[in-house]
Amino acid sequence: MEAMAETLEERRAEALVELEDALEEIESGEGLSTFVEGHGIQSRVFRFEWSEPKLQISYELPTGRVLSGEDAEKDDEAEIAAAIRMALILLRAARDGKLEEACYGSVSVSCDETGAQYAIHTEDGSMIDESEGWSGLVSRLEGVLGDASDDLVVIWP
């Protein structure tokens, strides 16, 4: 008998735990291993992909580039930490129905070496907003989430 496919809720719960682990790794200063792919001293990347009908997340950010210097490593870690925090907020908002309450048909975010981008569409596919960077999305999410006390406190780099 084939194993039953995991439900979306189970997948979300697992992703949330793994992302929290990755954030803890970064904040500990001992190096990131969760969601890290690649090999060598300059070619490792933090990669996280998530896809569900209302939420798509795609991250591919450099990590552990020891030849780039300490400042570059700290910048990489700050960018990854911000991306992880955004993913945590979005996954929790999707889990709690906040994206639907805001009438967002879908939210997609991506982040790579060139920067962060997001797009928000209605149920019928019409564009609500799209931009580069996190600031516009953060403002929209503050309106959607309000004063939710259990959400992550985010300090953006």
95-126 per-position pLDDT tens digit: 999 988 888 999 999 999 999 999 999 999 99
Query: What pLDDT does residue 150 have?
Result: 52
Q: What is the pLDDT of residues 31-77, one digit of tens each?
A: 888 999 987 777 889 999 999 999 999 999 998 777 777 788 888 89
What is the separation of C-alpha 75 from the centre of its chain, rounded to a whole number of angstroms?
17
Read off the pLDDT of each residue in 69-95 and give the average, rounded to a whole number. 91
What is the separation of C-alpha 69 from the centre of its chain, rounded to a whole number of angstroms?
25
Residue that the structure tokens 């309106």 belong to: 143
Give the Cα separation of 3 and 127 in Å (integer): 38
Query: What pLDDT does residue 143 have?
Result: 80
| Range list of H helices, the chain | 8-28, 70-95, 98-101, 135-145
What is the SS3 assignment for 127?
strand
Query: What pLDDT does residue 79 have?
Result: 93
Work out the number of other CB atoms within 10 angstroms of the CB of residue 123: 11
Work out the number of other CB atoms within 10 angstroms of the CB of residue 30: 9
3 versus 43: which is more confidently predicted? 43
Q: 26 - beta bridge partners? A: none
Which residues lie below 8 Å from residue 72, measured CB to CB, with a gap of 6+? Answer: 65
Q: Which amino acid is at 41?
A: I
